[in-house]
């Protein structure tokens, strides 16, 4: 497949228990449309396939959603002031997360890495689109003209406070509203999707749909909102991909929700609502406190 990157099967990853009840909106209180892009708190879409092909959609989907949620959380905590915007390192998750590689992986395993070891900002380890080993430099480094590249000892890591999944083999109104409520309350979520040749070739400008019964997930994206098409009345999800801004609508696309065809649309949105995951960002902590010692590899293993 040209666009995949999600592993076919995954070991169970138990969610961390919620520390506080989540104040989800009731179905009748959910807005008809809601889009986190309207807040200017989202991280930009990226291209997982440069400077070379890499099936790292799972890491892109997970880190972008967590970064969004950290920006949203800090905006709420600081009266709307968010500086600098959080932008997390995908390469560090590939190198050290033990959650996957350029041959595929799992978003929940990336969240588990964030809970155990924390995520680093993108300036620590910029995207190379390749599998590398995990050492202190893979965690955070810089380079100098005289001495070359070396690990940075003092930096911070964003630790995940809790994470979980919203898996629904047969989506319905209740599961659809639960997904909306989670997005509305805390921010974007990562979800699996079947990346088909038709989706590959999609140029945007309309609401995507493709009828496939029992579609197989082979790609990870993030849902950032939903709405209703003014011309057709069709409800859609707003989705961020990781194929660059040249694809579809500046790297985003709209796809029908399971409400399509009078609630029988689950076979028309490429399994998007069947396997979703979320994570709640905690605090930015000193790497030496999170990993121990000098803030280096900390026992993490290299991507396969």
- Tokens 């506080």 identify what position? 20
Place of tokens 């590249």: 149
Q: How far apart are CA 107 and CA 210, in angstroms?
A: 24
> Of these residues, 71, 98, 125, 241, which one is catalytic?
241
Read off φ and ψ for residue 283, nearest 5 degrees: -110, 155
Exposure string of 222-245, with b = 16+ CB inside 10 Å and e = fewer, is: bbbbbbeeeeeebbbbbbbbbbee
Nearest in space to 191 (alpha carbons), one of 215, 161, 212: 215
Considering Cα of 231, then 217, then 69, then 122, what sign does the dihedral take?
A: negative
Does residue 57 carry a catalytic annotation?
yes
**How far is 42 from 193, CA to CA, in rounded Å?**
21
Yes or no: say if 118 and 281 are a contact pair by the CB < 8 Å rule.
no
- Name the phi and psi angles at 12, rounded to 5: -65, 145
Q: Which position has the token pair 């190379």?
A: 128
Instruction: Note the residue count of the chain.
Output: 304
From the list 57, 102, 134, 191, the catalytic residue is 57
- State which H helix or E strand residue 256 sits in: strand 252-256
Strand partners, 151: 141
124 has catalytic annotation: no
241 as an active site residue: the answer is yes
- Determine which one of 49, 60, 163, 219 is catalytic: 219
CA-CA distances (angstroms) from residue 290 to 94, 114, 117, 221? 19, 11, 6, 28
What residues act catalytically? 57, 219, 241
């Amino acid at each position: 497949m040209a666009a995949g990157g999600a592993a076919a099967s995954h070991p169970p990853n138990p969610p961390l228990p919620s520390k506080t009840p989540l104040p989800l909106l009731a179905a009748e209180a959910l807005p008809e449309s809601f889009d986190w892009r309207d807040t200017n708190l989202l991280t930009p879409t990226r291209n997982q396939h440069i400077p070379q092909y890499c099936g790292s959609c799972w890491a892109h989907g997970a880190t972008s959603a967590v970064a969004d949620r950290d920006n949203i959380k800090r905006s709420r905590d600081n009266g709307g002031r968010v500086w600098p915007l959080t932008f997390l390192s995908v390469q560090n998750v590939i190198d050290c997360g033990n959650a996957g590689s350029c041959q595929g992986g799992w978003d929940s395993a990336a969240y588990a890495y964030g809970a155990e070891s924390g995520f680093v900002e993108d300036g620590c380890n910029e995207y190379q689109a390749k599998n590398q080993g995990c050492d202190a430099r893979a965690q955070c480094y810089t380079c100098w003209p005289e001495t070359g590249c070396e690990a940075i000892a003092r930096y911070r890591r964003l630790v995940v406070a809790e994470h979980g999944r919203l898996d629904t083999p047969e989506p319905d109104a209740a599961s659809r509203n639960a997904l909306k409520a989670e997005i509305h309350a805390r921010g974007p979520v990562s979800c699996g999707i079947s990346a088909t040749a038709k989706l590959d070739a999609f140029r945007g400008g309309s609401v995507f749909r493709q009828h496939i019964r029992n579609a197989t997930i082979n790609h990870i994206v993030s849902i950032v909102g939903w709405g209703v098409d003014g011309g057709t009345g069709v409800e859609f999800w707003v989705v961020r991909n990781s194929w660059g801004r040249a694809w579809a609508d500046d790297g985003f696309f709209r796809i029908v929700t399971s409400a399509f065809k009078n609630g029988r649309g689950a076979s028309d949105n490429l399994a998007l609502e069947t396997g979703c995951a979320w994570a709640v960002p905690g605090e930015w902590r000193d790497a030496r406190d999170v990993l121990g010692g000098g803030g280096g590899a900390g026992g993490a293993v290299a991507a396969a």
